[in-house]
Every structure is written in C-alpha cells, then in structure tokens.
Structure 1
Amino acid sequence: MKKTGNTHIYLSEFLGTFIFLLCGIGCVGALKLAGASFGQWEISIVWGLAVAMGVYVCGGVCGAHLNPSVTIALALFGDFDKRKVVPYILVQMVAGFCAAALAYAMYYNLFADAVAATAGDPAKMTALAGIFCTFPHPKITFFQAFFVELVITAVLMCLIYALVDGRNTAPKGNLGGLLIGLLVALIGASFGPLTGFAMNAARDFGPRLFASRARM
C-alpha cells in the first residue's frame, strides 16, 4: 500500500531522536544519581552509540537528522525539502522533552533523594539539572562557550557531509551511522568538558524545557 502524507516520516524522526536522547540522558543520570563510574571518554562513547542507534532506527525512513543543525544545513546546502524544516525541528524538540520526561520517571526515586540532598544549593541544583541539559565550564566565559559550540557544531556538520559523501574514501555500506556516532564521541572526548558538547538544540532545549517544569 502506498503511504500518503508525511506522518510516518515525522514519527520516524521522533523515534530516532527520542531513543538517542533517552539513552544519552540515562547515561548521565546513571553517573550523577546511581553512582556509576564513567569517565569523559566513556560518557562520550555512550552518547556516540546513542546517536548511532538513533540513526539506524529511523535513517531509512526520515534520513535521521536528529538535530536541527543537520536539518537546516541539509535544507540550505542539500536537497532537503525546505517545507519540512519547521516540522522536523518541532518533532526533534518534542522528542527531547519526552525523552527527558521518561528518563526522569525511570530515575524518579533517585532524583527525589538527590534533590533533597541539594538543600536548595544553586550550584548543586545546576549540577543536577546537568543530567538533562548542558552548562559551560565555570572557568570559561559566555563568548568562549559560544565559540566552542560554534566550532564543534561546524566540525560535526563538515564531517557528517564527508562521511556520507559517496565520492570520499569513508567506508561504505551501513557504517554511516556508526561513524557519525564515533564522530560525536571524538568531539565529546576532546571538548566535552568545556560546554557539554550539545551541538544540537533538540538535545539541549527539549530536555532543558522539561527540567524547568519538573519538580526538582
């Protein structure tokens, strides 16, 4: 049966973004709430694998943007339908919100204990909110943080284009998602401590919006 409309495309983009963010947020929750002993490289690898799984679960249907930056870049420099840009971004944001909500529900009791332990201390509350969204290192300025995110997002987009370009020497076949995940892990290990390596408005804004509404 021939599919009509774009509903299945948007649902697919939602699912890929949701899975990627649920696993990534869950990893940070395990670190900050459950005492998991992850280092920066391990956290980066988990986020990278989460991106790869998100790509594989929906790439064949929607292209697996998972990121407003990717959607905008493909509309500006590729052949992505510009009429789909806003719906894609909205779906990605909603997926981020929902992933944060589910992660919160799964860790609920540990969140409650962690919130009580902060005793209203702003620094501790910010650290707890860091499970959902990113914050710059306290020793760097706002403009430096902006510059870092600008550079690493540009590197991300440049290398995504390189990895999926059939004219390049990157491995072919079904390795694209894994290579993009490793790219995310590489950037996270290199520059993650500076800003949290968001590189993705859906990864940060959707969960941040949930955190602002949650009872924390």
Structure 2
Amino acid sequence: MKSVKGELIAEFIGSFILIFIGAGCVAALVLNGAQYNIWDVSVIWGLAVSMALYITAAISGAHINPAVTLSLAVYRGFPWAKVLPYATAQTAGTFTASAAVYGLYRNGFLQYEAAKGITRGSAQSQTLASIFSTYPAPYLSNFQAACVEIAISAFLVAAIFSFIDERNSFAPTKALFPLAVGIVVAVMGGSFGTLTGFAMNPARDFGPKLFTALAGWGQVALPGPNGYFWVPIIGPIIGALLGGGLYDYFIGRYLPVEDPLLQETDNSKKEIAASAETV
C-alpha cells in the first residue's frame, strides 16, 4: 500500500531530477559555452522529464507539476487533500535542485560575473538567473507570455490525458509513457521555448526563482522584470485546466466504449469457431 510520505518523497525526487538535469544543461550552455541549439536543450529537458517519470512514477504517478496535479484532481479524481502537499513537495524539489546545480557550477558563476563585470542582482545578471528559471522574449508583454504558457500547457495536459486514457488504443504502454511525455515536452520546447522558456510548470519556475532570489539575484528573480514571476505560475494552471477540459470534450467523449455484453458475445463466437476447427 502506498504511503503519502512515500508519494511526497517521490514527487520531491522527480522534481529534483527535472531541474538538476535541465538547469544543469543550461548552465553548461551559458557558463561553459556548450554547443547546444534550442532543439538540443529541448530534448535534454524532455529526457529529464522522462527520467523523472521512469524513476518515480510507480510511487506517486510522477506529476512533478502542480498544474498537472490540479488537472488530475479536477478531471480524474485525484484526491484534493493531496494537491497542496504534492505542490509543496514539487516546489521543494526544484528549489533544492537549483541549489545543487549552483553548488556544482559555483566557480563558473563567479568567473562569468568577474569576466563580464556583472554585479549579481543587476539587470545584466538576468542572463545567469535564467539558467534556473524562465523569462520572456523582450518583445512579449506579460499577457502575451501568459497566452503562450496557457497554450503549451494545455497541449501538454491534453497529451497526458490521451496517454492515460484506457479507451485510447494508440496510447503508449506504461513502459513507454515516460518517454512519450518527454517527447511532448521536447516538442513544445523546440517550437515555443524561445518565447517563454516553456515553463509549463509552476514548481519548475517558482522553486528556482525563489532560490535565485535568496542567492543574490533579488528582484531580478522575484518579482522579476515587470513582475513576471506570476506568469509561469498562473499560465500553466489555466492551460492545464483548459487542456484537460478540451481533451474530454473534443476527444475523450468520442473514444469507443467497449460494451461488456458485446465483448462476451464476441468471445463466445471465438470459442465456438475454435471448437469447430478442432473437430
């Protein structure tokens, strides 16, 4: 029998893995000049999601995303009493992973700041803060960025709902489910990552922003330029709820429901046919 404690530990670990690998990749790009393009980065983030799911999904379902947890509570009967504890564990995991990445790359941060003459906490230091959390393209308003996050988060949750729908004969097997979700994340990153950094996850963004605020980036992290911090929180939540509803209304309602009586009749016919072949 699963324990809530075990589930929360799994959510913490899964969320830790997400940022440990994802932010580690961006740190390599910014600090060490790793030769990554947007697709490379997106694939690494997608694989981070897949690894988190492979390691922890059997325990907690590996939501690793408060928006996903909330959508499952609204549409799929996930216990409401677990929503806030899950979100807290997820955020704690991303915060801790940010600290771990910073610790491993600390000398790189110091060298970069010294070489560029950047004072941590200044507007110029946003480049380093963006290693951990997301910021919008300079030509986007907060509203426009929120629309991007709503759209891609809706796509993510609709895809997840299709993957877990037992009526969907094309849904991936349990063994391939983590990989399928990772592919969705990678595709969203490759398509729209240059707009908002494809947060799609309040914990993925707020935990690292909280860490960077405490680690010296201050208002560059929280509340961020133009008070941006709310966008990767509210946008994914709205998008997740929208995506779940759209899936149920436009896809789920039209999936075939197997009639037990027809299935029993079909099985009887098969048995009769098999008996006839042996005569």
Q: TM-score range by the shorter chain?
A: over 0.9
Query: Which ranges in structure 1 are unaligned for 5 or more consecutive residues?
Result: none
Aligned CA-pair RMSD = 1.4
2:77 to 70, 79, 86: 79
Kindly report which structure 2 residues correspond to 1:102-181, keeping only aligned pairs within 5 A, or say none. 102-116=100-114, 117-120=116-119, 122-168=122-168, 169-181=170-182
- After TM superposition, which residue ranges in structure 1, 4 or more long, deviate above 6 angstroms? none
1:81-110 alpha-carbon deviations (Å, 9 max, x no partner): 110000000000100100000000000100
| Distance 1:173-1:125 versus aligned 2 partners, 3 A rule | same
Kindly report which structure 2 residues correspond to 1:45-124, keeping only aligned pairs within 5 A, or say none. 45-116=43-114, 117-120=116-119, 122-124=122-124
| Residue 205 of structure 2: aligned partner | 204
Looking at structure 2, the residues matched to 118 and 87 of structure 1 have their Cα atoms a distance apart, in angstroms, of 42
| Residue 4 of structure 2: aligned partner | 6
**TM-score, with structure 2 as normaliser:** 0.74
**How far is the alpha carbon of 1:136 from its aligned partner?**
0.2
Looking at structure 2, the residues matched to 123 and 190 of structure 1 have their Cα atoms a distance apart, in angstroms, of 27
SS in 1 for 2:140: coil
| Residue 187 of structure 1: aligned partner | 188
Contact map agreement 2:18 2:94 (CA 8 A) in 1: no
| Residue 35 of structure 2: aligned partner | 37
Aligned length: 214
**How far is the alpha carbon of 1:115 from its aligned partner?**
2.2
**How far is the alpha carbon of 1:123 from its aligned partner?**
4.3
Contact map agreement 2:149 2:200 (CA 8 A) in 1: yes
Task: Kindly provide the amino acid, as one letter, of the partner of residue 178 in structure 1.
Answer: L
Query: Percent identical across equivalent pairs?
Result: 44
